[in-house]
C-alpha cells in the first residue's frame, strides 16, 4: 500500500533531522493518511479512499465528494478516484439530458 493520498497526490517528502549541535541526518516526512468512506450524492453510494487529513478538510470545505472531484485535476487523482469522477460526470450529464 503506497503512502500517497488518493485525492490530492500528496506523498512522502524528505528533509533533515537537525540536532541541537546542528548535526543533520536525512529523514522522511510522511503524509497523515486515513482510511475514510465518502458518500457521493450524485451516485447515491459510498466510496472508500485513503486520503490525507488535509484532503478531508478540503472535501468538507468544498461541500462534499462530488464538488471536490469536479474541481480536482485528473493528474493528482488515483485510478480509483478517477473512475468515481467519470461516473459522477456521466450521471450528471444524463440528469441534465433528462431535464
1 assigned to some structural domain? no
Per residue in 23-50, pLDDT tens? 999 999 999 999 999 999 999 999 999 9
25 assigned to some structural domain? yes
Looking at residue 82, which CATH number applies to its domain? 2.30.170.40
88 assigned to some structural domain? yes
Whole-angstrom distance, CA of residue 16 vs CA of residue 29: 9
Q: Indicate whether 86 pLDDT > 70.
A: yes
Q: How many domains does the chain fold into?
A: 1
5 assigned to some structural domain? no
pTM metric for this prediction: 0.86
Whole-angstrom distance, CA of residue 41 vs CA of residue 67: 10
4 assigned to some structural domain? no
3 assigned to some structural domain? no
Domain range enclosing 18: 13-98
> Of 33, 43, 83, 99, whose CA–CA distance to 66 is shortest?
43
Amino acid at each position: 500500500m503506497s503512502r500517497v493520498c488518493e485525492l490530492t497526490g500528496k506523498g512522502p517528502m524528505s528533509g533533515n533531522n537537525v540536532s541541537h549541535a546542528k548535526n543533520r541526518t536525512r529523514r522522511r516526512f510522511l503524509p497523515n493518511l486515513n482510511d475514510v468512506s465518502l458518500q457521493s450524492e450524485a451516485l447515491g453510494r459510498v466510496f472508500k479512499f485513503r486520503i490525507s487529513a488535509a484532503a478531508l478538510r478540503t472535501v468538507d470545505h468544498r461541500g462534499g465528494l462530488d464538488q471536490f472531484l469536479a474541481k480536482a485535476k485528473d493528474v493528482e487523482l488515483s485510478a480509483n478516484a478517477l473512475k468515481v469522477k467519470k461516473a459522477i460526470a456521466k450521471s450528471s450529464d444524463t440528469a441534465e439530458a433528462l431535464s
